[in-house]
A and B are shown apart, each in its own frame.
Chain A
Amino acid sequence: MLLQYIAIAILIFLSTALAGLVIVLGELFGPRVKTNVKSMPYESGMTPIGPGTRRMPVRFYLIAMLFILFDIEIIFLLPWAVVFRKLGVFGLVEMLIFILILLVGYLYAWKKGALEWE
């Protein structure tokens, strides 16, 4: 079964080579006439004010943290789902408790307004 990963490695290699080829094709055949105006950031024709990368809202970090929390929960659910028929009622109750504990955190985040986007 582990041998199958070699096939995926081959596929990754081929598709990376293809993407590189596409970029090289564009570099080879596309004209390159540099002017100052052309290499400005595109802002619908207005002259940009200030730097392009600036501080971003903290909301995005919050979402990322919540994502990690719940993604780990899902990762635990996947192996549980595979062996579920062997576990039976025990597995169901066990997972119910696990989900309930996480649900408390979810409700807390909701009530604290972490899921609002104002």
Chain B
Amino acid sequence: MLILGIESATAQVGVALGSHEGVVASAHSSKDRRHAESITPMISFVCEQANVELTDISVVAVDIGPGLFTGLRVGIASAMAVAHGLGVPMIGVSSLDLGAFAASHSSRLIVPCYDARRGEVFSAHYRSVPGGVQRVSNPAVSTPDELAAELMALSEEILFLGNGAERYREHFEMISGIEFAGNGLWYPSARSLVELSHPKAMREEFVSPSEIEPLYIRLPDAEINWKVRDGRS
């Protein structure tokens, strides 16, 4: 079972390849946001490094967001095309799941938080469980202040991670019991994607390329404006 993982939901872009032996090759870049330029060459690169043929790939996993829309879609479009082209199934995983999974050693409440731009962040709450993490709240988009008020009200030990946590650090620092994770956890990674997808692949939790749906959470601005207009008229 050879899994190709493609991840591009945040400022980082990455591709990884793994099997029951774990991740066997990966490439990540968080500079210049050249996601569309990087992904295809990265796929070639990881296959060469792992000494496998593209046709050996049996599953394509992809980060379905939430994340920055354009970059996110570049990864999803690439992954769909690879899966369609090879005739293999897909696994879609949320960026927030990936962030929490990378911190699954923690006994605290794990809160990944990614920059959504325009003064907002994407976040959700997780708990460590044997073999991974379990999501205990719905993925949400909110302002840092709204999220800070929500976390404060929980009065819990929190492990806070992601580039949103870093960018808006001063909004959260006064929350007692909060711990900021290091910069190794700033972005969801393709390595986590492949690791997390392996048990799902063993359980055959597959979808077809046409069933993969991005997790946007936020509506397009035009639709938001339209709703406002509808409400008034």
Do chains A and B stick together as partners? no
> Which A residues are within 8 Å of any B CB, using their own CB?
none
> Which B residues are within 8 Å of any A CB, using their own CB?
none
